Amino acid sequence: MTVTTSTEALIPDEIARAAVLPESYMDEKNVTYPAFKWLRENNPLGIAKIDGFDPLYLVTKLDDLITIERQPEVFANGLKNPILNSQADDAFIRGLTGGSIRSIDVTPFMDPPEHTAIRRLINPWFRPGNVKRFSDQVRALARREVDRLLDFDGECDFAKDFGLLYPLRVIMTLFGLPPEDEPVVMKLTQEFFGTNDPEEQREEIQLTPDAAGRAWTAAIASFNEYFHQHTLDRRANPTEDLLSVVANSRIDGELIEERYCNGQYIAIATAGHDTTSATLVGSILAMIENPDQLRLVQRDMSLVDRLVEESIRYVSPVKHFMRSATQDAEVRGRQIKEGDRFMLCFPSGNRDEEKFGPNSHDFDVTVDRGKHAGFGFGPHQCQGMMIARLEMRILFEELLPRLKSIELNGTPRYTQTNFVGGLKSLPVRFEKA
């Protein structure tokens, strides 16, 4: 890709690397967030040129994120990879697909009208009225998981022992997947989002320049294999679970192809699990670092809904999606050319001082922040956001009243990813109320 770069538009290399590279997100507080703040103040729509990557615009202001996401006809998902990979990783995927960057038939890789048709298939399932039907089921899971957590006798790794498991068990229950498959789905989800983290990659994946592309396609292949028999089973013997809804979806009276089923399964199983777990664990760390906020909610549980929204904004588990210009355009005074790529930096948008005030870096449940970028905007807005809110609200209602105190008991560790993720280890010490 060729980008005409003015000196004014070019981002300093140190700032660009801090905002783009997966390893930067292992220390967001000291690396990525200071870089985003610099960009918002000095170059909110600048061009990053990093060896091994296509040139790309970094979109760091909330208004620009909204503008781009709400114009899919100008800023497309499917034109190029909607997930930022290195050039080597993209080349590996194209080598497998015969030239296409589309390695999975999931809506983030689609544009209208295909995107509209596929998303419409399960939209009714995610509507608030339908989601509400699962409240009692989710609450029972939350109570069971909180009981299990409190049995750890005051010490645990909140991420590994609890935060990763509760959302997974909710998703598997909604899907109708057997509990004994939890280790398989957990492992595949971590491999899917941990393609740039050596600790999450399969042993057979060598650390070559295209290792992330190899890990990504291997995880997708394993997911496809896992879900194949479930599709056959649900088509032969449909139930009321989400697997059956997807497997028996039709367009123009015909069952959708299995590749579309797999895309929906993978999106829900991975994003529906990992984003919620990252938010839950990140919110606990935020309350450990801001114990006054924990006490506020414990004294007034009507603040739980605001706690949910502030956690999503503050943690920002989705780090980016990419868009590509389908035509010449103008954004924030920049002259955009057809084919230019944009990295939508959601964590930066969620710290935008212009929208969230001078204390946008604070975790504060007393402030009504209004619209945040945690679920995106426009036609690609998160389809499962009502489920995510339900899971977190119920979990906070069940957990927080039963905690007297909670503090760090070791060093938090983050997944090495610039796509979706957060804390993978949070050692804590706690007292039961």
- pLDDT at residue 321 above 70? yes
User: What is the rounded CA–CA span in Å between residue 44 and residue 38?
Assistant: 8
User: What is the rounded CA–CA span in Å between residue 226 and residue 240?
Assistant: 20
- pLDDT at residue 4 above 50? no
Extended strands (E) in 203-351: 250-251, 254-255, 320-325, 329-331, 334-336, 341-345
Most confident of 74-88, 195-209, 262-276: 74-88
**Type of residue found at 152:** F
When pLDDT is averaged across residues 233-246 and rounded to a whole number, the result is 94
User: What is the rounded CA–CA span in Å between residue 406 and residue 394?
Assistant: 19
- pLDDT at residue 13 above 90? yes
- pLDDT at residue 63 above 90? yes
- pLDDT tens per residue across span 65-83: 999 999 999 999 999 999 9
Q: Which two tokens stand for residue 226?
A: 């896992």
**Type of residue found at 74:** V
Neighbours of 127 (CB within 10 A): 10
Average the pLDDT over each of 21-35, 68-82, 148-162, 259-273 and give the range with the smallest value.
Answer: 259-273
- pLDDT tens per residue across span 129-145: 899 999 999 999 999 99
The answer to whether the beta carbons of residues 186 and 146 sit under 8 Å apart is no
In percent, the amount of the chain with pLDDT more than 90 equals 87
Domain 13-432 fold is Cytochrome p450 (1.10.630)
Extended strands (E) in 313-421: 320-325, 329-331, 334-336, 341-345, 403-408, 413-414
Q: Higher model confidence: residue 192 or residue 35? A: 35
* Predicted local confidence at residue 327, as pLDDT: 96
Q: Which two tokens stand for residue 153?
A: 């006798």
User: What is the rounded CA–CA span in Å between residue 246 and residue 235?
Assistant: 10
User: What is the rounded CA–CA span in Å between residue 412 and residue 177?
Assistant: 31
* Predicted local confidence at residue 204, as pLDDT: 82
Instruction: Give residue 248's pLDDT band: very low, low, confident or very high (50, 70, 90).
Output: very high
- Of 110, 60, 108, the C-alpha closest to 84 is 108
- pLDDT at residue 385 above 50? yes
- Coil, strand, or helix at residue 418? coil
Domain ranges of the chain: 13-432
- Listed in sequence order, the residues at least 6 apart from 391 whose beta carbon sits closer than 8 Å to its beta carbon are 138, 142, 166, 167, 170, 276
Phi-psi region at 95: left, alpha or beta (left = phi > 0; alpha = psi -120 to 50) = alpha
Q: For residue 330, report the phi and psi dihedrals to the nearest 5 degrees.
A: -135, 130
User: What is the rounded CA–CA span in Å between residue 57 and residue 322?
Assistant: 10
pTM over 0.85: yes
When pLDDT is averaged across residues 218-225 and rounded to a whole number, the result is 94
